[in-house]
Structure 1
Amino acid sequence: MNPVRLSGSRLTLREVESDDQSALLAIYGDPEATRHLSFEPRTVEQVQAIVDRSIASASETPRTEYCLAVTHRGDHRLVGYARLATEPQQAATIGFALHPAEWGRGLGVETVHLLCALGFDVLGLHRIWAARSPLNEASARTLLRAGMTEDGRIRDHVFVRGAWRDSITHSILEHEWTPPDGLRAGASR
């Protein structure tokens, strides 16, 4: 299987590598970066397990999970983590997290676009969806600006920080997807 590599105007998605552990810990271990995610800050050991699972998933056949490093185009350093997990019926769920230093610059929209390019243009999916915390208005704006539609609410979807939390879902269908200029996909199924 060929490694996934997708580039937009400012970002690249690439396969996760063992050297990404400390950069991923700077995101997943940060209480602010994980405030709206479906889990509490991760430990060094938990992040190492995520890196190991991400690397292992890249060699599975068939591949059903794409855990990818988000980097600035032309820079190998991880500044975010993106995931696409396929489901039956030509669908997938996506998620991503960026280092707080990268917030507010439109990089989330480009990350979603890159995940959609992987799903629609490379994998031939019909539907891609995402779930977010109801309080995460920045994520709502990102998903809407990326072309997704807000679908609704999943009640008591995740148990995090000692309480059940709802999720708001967003989706985009293959016929709604238009790749932005400058998006180049280089991946295999």
Structure 2
Amino acid sequence: MRSVHYSGGRLSLRDVTPDDVDAIHAVYGDPAATEHLPFSPRTRAEIEQIVTAALTLAAAVPRQVYVLAVIDNESGQVIGVGRLRIDPEHPHSAEITVALRRDHWGRGMGTDLVRLLLAFGFRGLRLHRIWGARSPANTAAQLAMLVAGMVEEGRARHHVATPTGWRDSIIHSALRDEWERYRAG
């Protein structure tokens, strides 16, 4: 297994470990942090299962799922989760998802996290296309993706089942060549 350690200016990414359960629970167990996600707040036991599954997925060959701890470089703390899932049918395309601890909202960390996942996917994994879906009501995610250089593609109707019913998603994407030009500009 090739472990991930990928650093940016304020944030770094690394594979999750069993030591991250409490930090991930601080994100996925928070009703505010999961408001726009397709699941209810998770219990600590559910987070333990997620981390165990992530370790198994990290050992797969070829590796298609990266569940990554998001580290605040200043404090060294795990402040979120970034996930990149390569499409097995189209191995040059991947979906990203992001979640940050609530006390790190409003400081541009979401944009930094999206940028870091794009850099990891395009530079580290040599992907061609990276996309993400967000709740139509999640304007913070919209801003983070747009500022990071992703393009809003459109709406996928009744894309995900949530605890309160079906929800549309707004799809954003980036292509490697466009992203490289965006970064150069």
Q: What is the CA-CA distance between 1:2 and the residue it aligns to? A: 2.6
Aligned with 1:109 (options 103, 108, 111): 111
Q: What is the CA-CA distance between 1:39 and the residue it aligns to? A: 1.1
TM-score (norm 1): 0.91
Could you tell me the percent identity over the aligned residues? 46
TM-score (norm 2): 0.93
SS state at 1:105 partner:
coil
Provide the aligned C-alpha RMSD in A. 1.5
SS state at 1:159 partner:
strand
Q: What is the CA-CA distance between 1:75 and the residue it aligns to? A: 4.3
Query: 1:2 and 1:75, CA in 2 relative to 1: closer, same or farther beyond 3 A?
Result: farther
Match of 2:37 in 1: 37
**C-alpha distance in 2 between matches for 1:162 and 1:148:** 28
Structure 2 residue runs of 5 or longer lacking an equivalent are none
**C-alpha distance in 2 between matches for 1:6 and 1:49:** 24
Q: How is 1:1-189 mapped onto 2 (pairs within 5 angstroms)?
A: 1-73=1-73, 75-87=75-87, 88-89=89-90, 90-178=92-180
Q: What is the CA-CA distance between 1:103 and the residue it aligns to? A: 0.3
Aligned residues: 181
Query: 1:74 and 1:2, CA in 2 relative to 1: closer, same or farther beyond 3 A?
Result: farther
Q: What is the CA-CA distance between 1:40 and the residue it aligns to? A: 1.0
Structure 1 residue runs of 5 or longer lacking an equivalent are 182-189
**C-alpha distance in 2 between matches for 1:76 and 1:50:** 22
Post-superposition Cα deviations, 1:140-176, rounded to whole Å, max 9, x if no partner, equal 0010000000001111111112311100000000101
Runs of 4+ in 1 over 6 A off after TM superposition: none
Post-superposition Cα deviations, 1:44-70, rounded to whole Å, max 9, x if no partner, equal 121111111112222111100010000
